[in-house]
Amino acid sequence: MNPVIYHTQTESPPLSATVPETIIDTVFSRARRVLLVGQPGIGKSTLVDALAGTLGQAGRACTCIDADPGSPRFGVPGAVCLTRWNPTGWTLAGLEALCTLDAGRFRLPLVAAVQRLAQSLPGDVVLVDGPGVVRGVAGAELLTALVAAAHIESVLVLTRAGRTLPLEQELGALATPVFAIQATTAAHRPGKRARARARTTRWDMYLANAGEQLLEVERLRITGTPPPLVVPEAWTGRQVALLEGERTIAMGEVLALEGNRLRVRIPAMTANSATLLVRDAARFADGCLATIARFTADRLEYLPPPDIAPVVSAKATGGPRVVGRVGMLQVALVNGVFGDPLLHLRLRHQRRSLLFDLGDGGRLPARVAHQVSDVFITHAHIDHIAGFLWLLRSRIGEFPVCRLYGPPGLAENIEGMTRGILWDRVGDRGPRFVVAELHDRQLRHFRVQAGCRGVEPLETREATDGVLLADPGFRVRATTLAHKSPVLAFAFEPGQQINIRKERLLARELKPGPWLGELKRNLQGGSLATPVRLPDGGSESTKTLADELVLITPGKKLVYATDFADTADNRLRIVALAQGAHTMFCEATFREADSEQAVRTDHLTTRACGEIAVAAGVARLVPFHFSRRYEQDPAPVYEEIAAACPQVALPKTMAVFGTAQGQDEN
């Protein structure tokens, strides 16, 4: 059908002040349920206000279903809201929690929520203020689904002068009448910050009379897209909802996950509930409610190899390199998935690098070697340690001591490699290393210096919980696995990111200063009872201030494990180390068809790699250290891993391997 076009006034007074009587007379004389469609900022909510006011003056009751969870005009953000018009404005009459601001991504829950609210409405006028998703598949699906869910009798589409209607083909296919209305020139979309502030104000109003409650995790059925329970920091600030069946009891905000209990700010509950809904709406460090990135959303790519040193083929360099971000780290699997193991971790905003294993380092520039502070070596097989000569040569000069960590015997391996070189011109200025060997629960330290013969024993200390290195911002832990000889696997565990909520400081009229640094240090040290002196002369405990002023964001754990046998004991140890990791680099050396070879050489198969990652609950698995027998056709390797672990990070195309087969794949 062809839309009937009605023009609102395009000059002053604006649309919010004047609604043509023809809209009321033509549309609402025969339709009680009307859907408003339009792009963000075109004036849908303003038109809803104007229509409701005009209808109210005519003695007709009006109800609105606000179906825009990201920028609600009338209700609570993160929900589909039912509001009723009265002479003083809109009154909230009910809500269906979504716990997301993204109507396009979670359109099925949104439509279901609209349907439930629409079923309970009386016979008065119902206006459905649709979300501003009017493009692509999401817009098309939402349009037709909302018309059916709310039993819509007419559709009002707002458009700008000279523009085609959004979703024109889909609108033309509807069986319900469609009316196009030209938007006022005064309509505009507020900026991103303004929208965030308005949304947050509404959320804070909803929580104004809320109190704290403790919810036992074990008694909850957690639905939606929750972060891992083993990462407590990922829960802080999350918008949640308690449900009874499909009915929303109350919405709230997570203050902390403490052991097996969620501390939540939530209005008084009217009924016990065993279901908790969590998606991707959360309060950020700046205090604003926004969409939080998925726990695995850090960028990760498989790049063709010729990006550091000139090469002739993927085969010559070990296949594509995996590069990307994991929280505070820039990561790069230097020699690709088939090459010598060498994982480069660059600490963002610092001139510091960590290396996991020391395969061929020729593709890294010397400046990386200059900034390496710590190297974690799984074992001393040549493909895992041959790059030490690159590191040794690159650090000739005035550089600080470099620390190396590994299994028993590593100090002698390192000393032997330095001893094989003539150092007659270095004197006592040769590269210096402190080697730490993990012997069960003891960490034994040795000094090795180029040009000086022998290994000098240093201190021995307890390696509590496998901790090798503990820095203020992170720690590295290890566990010992079996590979005919001892092999270490490592976990990089960042500390919590402590953010001060500026809007809370302003509300309390507290000026920033050194006291905030003291507050952060107390939190990092666990001194929650320690008082902090405030700028106004008073003092409060660290815990009291933290609960009010601090938002803690999650650190993202990274695990590196390779060259170990698929035994029950090894699985128990590596799963314990990797539990709840954000990203796990794990070997998948052989396909299942070659499992006998895997047993003979004490390596993992593709299936074992995937099963270990699933058992550990990792958010993203990056398999590597593939046998070179699969270089010509790596796709089946990834297919077998993916069958065991849906969280595997896959190349977008096999063409990055330089194979003829892969170039035809999507």
Same domain, 532 and 574: no
pLDDT score recorded for residue 600: 96
Is residue 372 one of the residues assigned to a domain? yes
Question: Of the ranges 22-31, 214-223, 415-424, 520-529, which one carries the lowest mean pLDDT score?
Answer: 22-31
Eight-class DSSP state of 30: T
The whole-angstrom separation of Cα 305 and Cα 318 is 8
Q: Which pTM does this prediction carry?
A: 0.75
260: number of Cβ within 10 Å: 11
Which of 442, 434, 435 shows the shortest CA–CA distance to 467?
442
Domain count, the chain: 4
Q: What is the CATH number of the domain that holds 416?
A: 3.60.15.10
Distance from C-alpha of 560 to C-alpha of 464, rounded to nearest angstrom = 19
Res. 272 pLDDT band, cuts 50 70 90: low
Please check whether residue 188 lies inside any domain of the structure. no
Task: Give the three-class secondary structure for 656.
Answer: helix
pLDDT, one tens digit per residue, over 481-515 is: 999 999 999 999 998 777 788 778 887 888 888 89
Q: 584-624 pLDDT, tens per residue?
A: 999 999 999 999 999 999 999 999 999 999 999 999 999 99
**pLDDT score for 336:** 93
Q: What is the dihedral of CA 423, 424, 429, 431, to 10 degrees?
A: 0
Read off the pLDDT of each residue in 232-245 and give the average, rounded to a whole number. 90
Instruction: Note down the domain range covering 533.
Output: 500-547
For the record, the structure tokens of 2 come out as 């062809």
Phi, psi of 180 (to 5 degrees): -95, 135
- Parallel, antiparallel or unpaired: strands 372-376 and 402-406: parallel
29, 82: one domain: yes
Dist CA 210 CA 205 (whole Å): 10
Q: Are 649 and 507 members of one domain?
A: no
Shared domain check, 122 and 36: yes
Residue 191 lies in a domain: no
Same domain, 216 and 270: yes
Element (H, E) at 423: none
Which tokens in the block code for residue 24? 């009321």
Cβ 281 vs Cβ 77: under 8 Å = yes
- Other CB atoms within 10 Å distance of the CB of residue 223: 14
Q: Which of the 8 DSSP states describes residue 608?
A: H
How does the average pLDDT of the chain come out, rounded? 87
Q: Residue 310: pLDDT above 50?
A: no
Q: Are 41 and 134 in contact (CB under 8 A)?
A: no
Give the tokens for residue 350: 């610092």
Burial status of residue 517 (CB atoms within 10 A of its CB: 0-12, 13-18, 19 or more)? exposed
Rounded CA-CA distance 601/637 in Å is 18
> Do 519 and 490 share a structural domain?
no
Q: Which of 125, 154, 182 is the last residue of a domain?
A: 182
76 close to 202: Cβ distance less than 8 angstroms: yes
Question: How far is 580 from 228, CA to CA, in rounded Å?
Answer: 7
CB atoms closer than 10 angstroms to residue 449: 21
d(CA 596, CA 546): 55
660 falls within a domain: yes
